[in-house]
């Protein structure tokens, strides 16, 4: 096994470990550990993000991203060249009636039924550095 393959396997295991730390039902955990894990065999995973509130996740591959929705049991695949990143910084206090002070979005330009809209929203200054770190990883991946 090459070093690249070992790193890819490690990243898959890190992803599955992070998913296992979520408070998911048995059926949703099985879906991740069987269906999603099987799909990732021989895939070169670059990184991942997990929405702890919904259990959804993004898996960054070399040239695309895979969104896994455990509620629906669906996986959506988006080519990298159709993805964009948007950041809205409202920490100046103007125009934020919903209380959002910082928002980042990874989104796709694709048919409406197949769009990716992965958002990170901050209502507190304490959350901003974590989201900025995620945006940095997203941009690093998009520009690689």
What pLDDT is attached to residue 97? 67
Per the CB < 8 A criterion, the answer to whether 69 and 75 are in contact is: yes
Instruction: Answer with the residue of higher pLDDT: 9 or 144.
Output: 144
Domain 3-142 part of CATH 2.30.29: yes
Share of the chain above pLDDT 70, in %: 92
Helix and strand numbers (H, E) in the chain are: 4, 7
Does residue 61 have a pLDDT over 80? Answer: yes
Sheet of strand 117-122: strand arrangement: 83-89, 102-108, 117-122
pTM higher than 0.75 for the full model? yes
Q: Where are the domains of the chain?
A: 3-142
What pLDDT is attached to residue 121? 93
């Amino acid at each position: 096994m090459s070093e690249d393959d070992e790193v890819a396997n490690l990243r898959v295991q890190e992803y599955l470990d992070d998913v296992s730390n979520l408070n998911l039902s048995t059926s949703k955990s099985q879906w991740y550990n069987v269906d999603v894990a099987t799909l990732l065999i021989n895939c070169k995973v670059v990184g991942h993000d997990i929405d702890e509130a919904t259990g959804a996740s993004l898996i960054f591959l070399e040239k695309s991203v895979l969104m896994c929705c455990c509620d629906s049991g669906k996986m959506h695949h988006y080519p990298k060249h159709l993805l964009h990143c948007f950041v809205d910084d409202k920490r100046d206090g103007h125009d934020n009636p919903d209380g959002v002070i910082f928002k980042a979005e990874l989104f796709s330009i694709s048919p409406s039924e197949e769009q990716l809209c992965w958002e990170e929203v901050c209502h507190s200054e304490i959350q901003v550095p974590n989201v900025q770190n995620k945006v940095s990883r997203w941009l690093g991946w998009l520009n690689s």
